[in-house]
Structure 1
Amino acid sequence: MSPLYPYLLLLVFLNVNGFLWVPSVCQESIRLNMIHRHHPKFEKKTGVKAPESPMERLQQLIRLDEKRIEMVFRMREHRRKVAEAVVNMTTTEKQQKRQVLSLPSSVQLQLYSGSYSYTNSYVTTFRVGTPPQRLLLITDTGSALTWANCIHNCSDCSRKHRRRRIFDADKSTSIRSIPCSSEMCQVGLQEFNAYYDYCPKRKSPCWYDMSYSGGTTVIGFFANETVTVKRRNKGHTRIHQVLIGCTDPTGNTDFSEADGIIGLGYSPYSFAYRAAMQLGGKFSYSLMDVLSSRNVSNYIVFGEDNKKMQMQYTELVLGKVGTHYALNVRGISVGGVMLDIPPYVWDVEMGYGAILDSGTSAFALPEMAYRPIVDALKAALEGYPPVTVTGLEYCVIVDNTTTFDESRVPKLVIHFADGATFEPPVKNYVINPGEGGRCLGFMPTPWPADSLIGSFMQQGYLWEFDLINGKLGYALADCT
């Protein structure tokens, strides 16, 4: 055997971001069930009751969408400011930043999220530590950091923090804090507002201090920890060296419905990236109709989804629009006619573009894209009595003596730059909240802003994120 063989083998296991990972031999997938906030199990786990009527449920989701849109707009503004700061950096400063860790452009951007933005999302049971401690965390494709309400070196925590679920770091034998003197803290984790100026000892933990648009601040320290997840068939898989944030639970009232967040965004530090790279480089999810009364959970799979279906593929743009999963959109047609939407609305190179966002319900677009779409579709709702749903411009009531004629609705198609198309069923954009209601499921956003393809448009499909090859797969699916 050549003396160089061990080193060549090591290079095979280094991914493009310079992080060491060992491919799974059997490539067995793992699965997490996701529960929407209006699912009966959500009330059982959190004590938060969903609105009784379908129309009230829709109204609540749209109110939360407005907060989410505000958050994404602030994120875009923050990305712009960071990009300007990078442009103004000296050549030496840029080289030093690159040499420490070869990170994609997405992790050059500081995370700025909104506490209200997460209340529209899905939750899942997550087991952290050794032995595993069960937590209820929010799944969000727009976030990269996984964090949980956590206690550490706290002698009176049982009296001080009266929470049903909290991660006790002192009871885990596998947690390892990230030193504040490390290059990871001083460079890599700056996207999470890591600070290291106060470092009394070299091994003192690396801390973070994140501000949220709802006014909440979360403070904690970074650590590597072991996560235990169920396999698709049976048994469990342990994923080691997962970056988590141990967050002080004091004052986190805006996150009272859950115990923290699972970062599913694109970053070498996100749980999605870590789990996907251990299981073949892919993850996928499928969402049920969020206004459906069916008692069915959604799911997310890391690794290959075993369901056999005819997939379509388009380019998955990574690292261009923050930690989001962006798409190269060429345009949108309604009734076979391409709408007059300025091309720069979809320009991911400028930091805009369309993103798949599990934390938004409606399809949110800048005004210059929103207006042509609703103008092309609103004729399908004419003749029915209008009803007011705050945040949605076109809603009607179909009374008991008539039925809604879906054939009147022209087909909407999203056209991608590589020639692929996405043609959702009418129910994904003419929303049926029940009680005879019908609404165009679109919301306007301020410009400049990203276009958010929310869960209404995504429902009923399997979405496969291939992080190695930069591809998005999608196919109609029974999301059970």
Structure 2
Amino acid sequence: MKNFLNVVILIFCVCLNWCYNTEGGAEEKEGVKVDSYTIQASSLFPSSSSCVLSSKASNTKSSLRVVHLHGPCSHLRSNKDARLDHDEILRGDQARVESIRFKLSKNNSNGSVSTTKSTELPGKLGSTFGSANYIVTIGIGTPKNDVSLIFDTGSDLTWTQCKPCLGTYRCYTQNEPIFDPSSSSSYQNVPCSSPMCENGPQSCSASNCLYRVKYGDNSFTEGFLAKERFTLTNSDVLDDVYFGCGENNHGLFFRTAGILGLGRDKLSIPSQTSSTYNNIFSYCLPSSASNTGHLTFGSDGISESVKFTQVSSFPSPSNYGIDIVGISVGDTKLDITPTSFSEKGAIIDSGTVVSRLPTRIYEELRTVFKEKMSSYKATSGYEIFDTCYDFTGVDTMTIPKIAFSFGGGTVVELDVNGMLYPLSMSQVCLAFAGDDDSPAIFGNVQQKTMEIVYDVAGGRVGFAPHGCS
């Protein structure tokens, strides 16, 4: 009997330990819960200035290669962009957050694009933009013209600049030739009678539907709503895709040709291609600007280890709302209650760089992080960052893990590249900021190296580690 009880106690302890580590999301090494990363300090920076290609995009039929706009993998970068312009990146990031804030304050629940049958284009103010970090290249037209587009989960309409460039501002400078619809045999303007052209029975420009998108940072695009052939890969060609053919465009789009909209509205690419890809797409953002990631449509190649959380309600139908129910730093859980994120809500966003948290929660995260990093030399802050370290002369360092708990019991541990923003070896900063005026935002630094899966039809977002390889 005594031996039997010992066996039962042993089984109970093993099960308890397994359940604890499964729910907490922490790794286990030789029976000990690991709540920190031990890394080489030099690993925070690219080993070279050359581009390192991921194999993931080339192994899946409907995958596009994702590159950082300002990194060595980007063909849009010129010699004068020899290093990342952190000032420009962070200014753009703040502009995007302000765009999201403005959009919500105006309660623009009808989406990010205005299509109209009137020659007067009212536009929908407050659509999100401001940060342009990751791009993909697709073909538009017949024969196809390759264009580089910013991919954006906060936008719906896909658009590109088109000839002839008309209006006060005409077209901004882009790297590739501007798309000429007159040279494409598959181009069609959308008539005013189309259900895609809304907002009343007024007259049109030569009976063709017009669109206008005005972003919160005062960038805009306007032109004709059209249909065209899109070539994702040589074996993946989509006909009759609705997009904006912009003849009057203005803004800081950094030589890209436009935007690929991955939001939830009917004009977004996932919605339009739902019969082909079942309204599912995924991406992985690379560990650094010297590496590539992927954007994949459909469920092929999605990791079996993906963990899903339901998309929550959010005032803007374009954005993907999430429920953040917990955050831990190392072995310390932050004081988060059911009402911590209730006032502004929370979203996951491909275009916001640095995650924003309510100020009280950010300050607690910062305090705990500082306590666990007390053996390292602190240094001055930079722009929105107020917690930075000087790792000059440091070989190996130990960083506390940060994990987010989402609704439904999904726990996601951030990669070490998803916690820190390395400006230089003498200034490496905690990659979070406090903001009480905007929703909490799970930004693209925090998403690095993970496979992020958007099952739009199922109303859920998933996470899996090691998604770029």
Matched residue type, 1:425: D
Residue matched to 1:12: none
Tell whether 2:231 aligns with 1:217. no
Helix, strand or coil at the partner of 2:273: helix
Cα distance in 2 for partners of 1:147, 1:335 equals 43
Decide whether aligned partners of structure 1 residues 312 and 175 sit closer, same or farther in structure 2, where only a CA change above 3 A counts. same
**What are the within-5 Å matches in structure 2 for residues 399-478 of structure 1?**
399-400=392-393, 402-403=394-395, 405-407=397-399, 409=400, 411-447=401-437, 449-478=438-467
Decide whether aligned partners of structure 1 residues 277 and 474 sit closer, same or farther in structure 2, where only a CA change above 3 A counts. farther
The number of residue pairs the alignment matches comes to 394
Residue matched to 1:113: 127
1:107-141 CA-to-partner distances (Å, cap 9, x unmatched) read xx9563355x133x211111111221111111111
Is the contact made by 1:318 and 1:324 (CA closer than 8 Å) also made in structure 2?
A: no
Is the contact made by 1:318 and 1:470 (CA closer than 8 Å) also made in structure 2?
A: no
Cα distance in 1 for partners of 2:81, 2:337 equals 39
Q: With structure 1 as the length reference, what TM-score do the two structures score? A: 0.74
Give how far 1:369 is off: 2.7
**What are the within-5 Å matches in structure 2 for residues 162-201 of structure 1?**
164-187=176-199, 197-199=202-204
Cα distance in 1 for partners of 2:109, 2:316 equals 12
Is the contact made by 1:331 and 1:414 (CA closer than 8 Å) also made in structure 2?
A: yes
Residue matched to 2:326: 331
Decide whether aligned partners of structure 1 residues 446 and 131 sit closer, same or farther in structure 2, where only a CA change above 3 A counts. same
Q: Any stretches of 5+ residues in structure 2 without a counterpart?
A: 1-59, 111-122
Q: With structure 2 as the length reference, what TM-score do the two structures score? A: 0.75
Cα distance in 2 for partners of 1:196, 1:441 equals 49
**What are the within-5 Å matches in structure 2 for residues 76-475 of structure 1?**
76-79=104-107, 82=109, 110=124, 112-115=126-129, 117-119=130-132, 121-151=133-163, 164-187=176-199, 197-199=202-204, 204-230=207-233, 235-249=234-248, 252-290=250-288, 294=290, 296-306=291-301, 308-317=303-312, 321-341=316-336, 343-347=338-342, 352-382=344-374, 383-400=376-393, 402-403=394-395, 405-407=397-399, 409=400, 411-447=401-437, 449-475=438-464
Q: Any stretches of 5+ residues in structure 1 without a counterpart?
A: 1-27, 84-108, 188-194
Tell whether 2:66 aligns with 1:34. yes
Decide whether aligned partners of structure 1 residues 128 and 376 sit closer, same or farther in structure 2, where only a CA change above 3 A counts. same
Of 364-373 and 459-468, more deviation after overlay is shown by 364-373
Is the contact made by 1:395 and 1:440 (CA closer than 8 Å) also made in structure 2?
A: yes
1:370-422 CA-to-partner distances (Å, cap 9, x unmatched) read 2222122122343514133111011121231x456315x3x322122211211
Name the % identity. 26
Q: CA RMSD in A?
A: 3.1
Cα distance in 2 for partners of 1:221, 1:198 equals 14
1:414-464 CA-to-partner distances (Å, cap 9, x unmatched) read 1222112112234421334442432111012242x2111112211111111
Give how far 1:478 is off: 5.0
Is the contact made by 2:314 and 2:345 (CA closer than 8 Å) also made in structure 1?
A: no
Residue matched to 1:22: none
Residue matched to 2:92: 64
Is the contact made by 2:73 and 2:292 (CA closer than 8 Å) also made in structure 1?
A: no
Decide whether aligned partners of structure 1 residues 404 and 386 sit closer, same or farther in structure 2, where only a CA change above 3 A counts. farther
Decide whether aligned partners of structure 1 residues 196 and 213 sit closer, same or farther in structure 2, where only a CA change above 3 A counts. farther
Is the contact made by 1:276 and 1:283 (CA closer than 8 Å) also made in structure 2?
A: no
Cα distance in 2 for partners of 1:279, 1:153 equals 34
Decide whether aligned partners of structure 1 residues 420 and 212 sit closer, same or farther in structure 2, where only a CA change above 3 A counts. closer
Matched residue type, 2:138: F
